[in-house]
Structure 1
Amino acid sequence: MKLVVGLGNPGSQYALTRHNVGFMVLDELARQHATNWRKEGKAEVAELRVLGQKLLLVKPQTFMNLSGDAVAPLMRFYRLPPESMLVVQDDLDSAFGLLRFRMGGRSGGQRGVDHLIKLLGSADFPRLKLGISRPPQGRSAADWVLSKFPEEERATLEELVRIGARAVEAWATAGLGEAQLKFNGTDLRPRPEPKTEPDAAPPAAEKTASDS
């Protein structure tokens, strides 16, 4: 069995905030596989199988900064090593529309990941990072991550979440290396309109003797 932990905050007021993209990916997986959520400890969990691989989806209900309180007991109960857990998280350091896998490393300031590292005693677990961009100048990161995605970003968000769900399945069935090769190039940022050169003026007609 493998654990897939989506990071976010519980409660409808946080449902479409940037900090909750991890929850969104897990909700999409549960919807696609028609599985139901149940309460287990300090988390909501759902079970599904992908090509025979059993996955336990985990949404901590502790609020972001205490995510480890929900996850660490499950890791101990199921006797899973850190590399058997994938964390799906938002990433301030990636532009909105980017998606990438990463193995281990520091938290990068993501408080949920930071708490997981602290309680598990290890940073050696893979992460699936979904970019939410840095806040605009004059706006704090704390305020930005708790802001909702505006209407003009919803279509990109929905596509990013769908791709994120497929990426989780690839990690579970093919492994981290194959999932990185397939999904780390994901870039849903809108492309700028190509510049078009103005139409060239028609060449001047040659003057003939009859024009004189």
Structure 2
Amino acid sequence: MKKFLIVGLGNIGEKYENTRHNIGFKILDYFAMKEGLTFETQKLGDVTTYKLKGRTFIFMKPNTYMNLSGKAVLYWLTKEKVPLENLLIITDDLNLPFGSIRLKTKGSDGGHNGLKDIQDKLNTTKYNRFRFGISDAFSKGRQVDYVLGEWTSEESERLEERLKTSAELIKSFALAGINNTMNSFNGK
């Protein structure tokens, strides 16, 4: 049985629920809703599992707040004995147009504090990340307000279709592998 740890980054609490920075949580919540899964609060995060074609997906939403996500990722990787190549981190990305998808096997944190902490705790930049574009439609000095701001009505309308594609990407990651998934989904 192959295991995969799928981590959606976000901040806990009602005030962050519908913010751009919480797209990782939103994608996992969408997947769980479509598959009838229920998250349970466990050590360092909310967790649920999903089985498909001989693979076990462990979905985790850290409850450590975004900037301390690495502790939760390292704990669950170790606890579940998931190899690093079967880790997928889902995060928002200001450098991509809204709804764009970019899957990568390594890279810098790009100034993202959640990725910075994961990189620090794992002691590597070589881990899979699924970057979901939130665009950079903010004025100078307003980045934090924008990232922690809620989706516009236009973005919300387009989000459903993007969430569906994101769920397909997660399944593909475990079933078809990272390279095939990158070829199929990057730029979609």
Q: CA deviation at 1:52?
A: 2.2
Aligned to 2:179: 177
Letter in 1 for 2:158: T
Letter in 2 for 1:17: T
Paired positions, count:
186
Aligned to 1:189: none
- Of 74-83 and 19-28, the range deviating more from structure 2: 74-83
Q: CA deviation at 1:159?
A: 1.4
1:2 matched to 2:35? The reply is no
1:90–1:131 contact (8 Å) kept in structure 2: yes
Q: CA deviation at 1:69?
A: 1.9
Aligned to 2:18: 16
Q: CA deviation at 1:148?
A: 0.3
Aligned to 1:118: 120
Please say which structure displays the higher CA radius of gyration: 1
Over residues 126-177 of structure 1, what are the superposed CA-to-partner deviations in whole Å (9 max), with x where a residue is unaligned? Answer: 1111100114223422111100001121111221111111101100111011
1:155 to 154, 157, 160: 157
Aligned runs of 1:35-50 on 2, under 5 Å?
Answer: 35-50=37-52
2:145 to 138, 143, 146: 143
In 2, the alpha carbon distance for the partners of 1:81 and 1:52 equals 16
TM-score after normalising by structure 2: 0.95
Aligned to 1:95: 97
1:6–1:87 contact (8 Å) kept in structure 2: yes
Over aligned residues, Cα RMSD in angstroms?
1.2
1:43–1:62 contact (8 Å) kept in structure 2: yes
TM-score after normalising by structure 1: 0.84
In 2, the alpha carbon distance for the partners of 1:93 and 1:185 equals 13
In 1, the alpha carbon distance for the partners of 2:135 and 2:11 equals 19
Aligned to 2:55: 53
Letter in 2 for 1:19: H
Gaps of 5+ in 2: none
In 2, the alpha carbon distance for the partners of 1:24 and 1:68 equals 19
Describe the SS at the equivalent of 2:82: coil
Aligned to 1:205: none
In 2, the alpha carbon distance for the partners of 1:11 and 1:137 equals 26
More helix per residue: 2
- Of 148-157 and 138-147, the range deviating more from structure 2: 138-147
Letter in 1 for 2:112: Q
1:75–1:81 contact (8 Å) kept in structure 2: yes
Aligned to 2:64: 62
Letter in 1 for 2:40: R
